[in-house]
Structure 1
Amino acid sequence: MTRRVLVPMDDSEPARAALEHALSVFPNDEVAVVHVVDELEAGYGGRPPVTTGGEADADEPDFFADVRSIAAERDRTVETAVIEGTSAEAILEHAREADVDQIVMGSEGRSGVSRMLLGSVAEAVTRQASVPVTIVP
């Protein structure tokens, strides 16, 4: 039975480590990468969600090219999506809607004042997820 593994992604080393971990530990499962455009950080002019089946999209973050490259090095493809919302809530909602079996995420993405003010996304996801969560340092 193929599992669906969700990897929340930003442009940080812990997120890249989480992707590499997911691709290694779940070699026969579907891996989906999601990037959250956080409305608290982006302000009020948001943009609609964008989903791609692994090919570049004009609205996707630049680091999705790295995501596809990391997957290709392992002869894998990944599904990618850009969603809007508050990070932890958006990740949890996407996990529910996509019927995810496992979440693999980096231990931290934001740093400094942003992390102190907004809290730890990894901690919030771990506490509220209805599926197992693996935190990769």
Structure 2
Amino acid sequence: MYDTILVATDGSEDSAAATDHAMALAAPTGARVHAVAVVETRTAYDNAIVDPDEVRENLRADAREAVDAVARVAESAGVDCETTVDEGPPPERLLEQVEESGADVVVLGATGRSGFKRLVLGSTTEQLLSQSPVPVVVVGRGNESSRGA
């Protein structure tokens, strides 16, 4: 059904549910998983109290942990997994990763870590649903929906 499944992760509970769903799709078919975390650079602090480079490194470390968590789940499931940490506006970077990875489907959580960012920046999930050239599966803690397929 799918050869490459892109999993967008931010380490949230919904991302963990999306990871589980992606593995359920990949394991029986031999599909490869590409885990992507995007560091949102537009919200990094830039003031005299917090060093912007330190904030960026902390955000990159969090993103690395998020994709590494997907890789551990994939290894346990016997699924090939590639990981990428990117920087920039998440919807744009994820759409670029869809193209670069040759993904057949995107799996991501219904909500991310920050409801505030969702209100200020717009929902990454909503933007992917409207702009993705491949089907998008949206997974939440206990509810799933999809577009495409």
Task: Quickly name the TM-score band, shorter chain normalised.
Answer: 0.7 to 0.9
Q: Does 1:68 align with 2:71?
A: yes
Give the Cα–Cα distance (whole angstroms) in 1 for the partners of residues 66 and 19 of structure 2: 12
Q: Is the 8 A contact 2:106 2:134 kept in 1?
A: yes
Counterpart mapping for 1:1-137 below 5 A: 3-27=3-27, 28-42=30-44, 61-137=64-140
Total equivalences in the alignment = 128
Q: CA deviation at 1:76?
A: 2.3
Task: Confirm or deny: 8 A CA contact 2:107 2:139 kept in the other structure.
Answer: yes
Return the alpha-carbon distance in structure 2 between the equivalents of residues 115 and 86 of structure 1: 12
- Tell me the secondary structure at the aligned position of residue 62 of structure 1: helix
C-alpha distance in 2, partners of 1:68/1:94? Answer: 17
CA offset digits 1:20-63 (Å, max 9, x no partner):
1011122210100001011212367568xx9xxxxxxx896223
Q: CA 1:38–1:59 in structure 2 vs 1: closer, same or farther (change >3 Å)?
A: closer
Give the Å deviation of 1:73.
2.0
Q: Larger helix proportion, structure 1 or 2?
A: 2
Q: Percent identity of the aligned residues?
A: 35
TM-aligned CA deviation for residue 68 of structure 1: 2.4
CA distance in 1, matches of 2:115, 2:17: 20
Distance 1:10 1:128 in 2: 20
Kept after mapping to 1: 8 A contact 2:6/2:105: yes
Cα offset, 1:113, TM superposition: 1.9
Runs of 4+ in 1 over 4 A off after TM superposition: 43-47
- What amino acid is the match of 1:36? V
Change (3 A) 1:89 1:60: closer
- Counterpart amino acid of residue 119 in structure 1: G
Q: TM-score, normalised by structure 1?
A: 0.81
- Structure 2: stretches of 5+ with no match in the other structure: 46-51, 141-149
DSSP-derived class of the 2:112 partner: coil
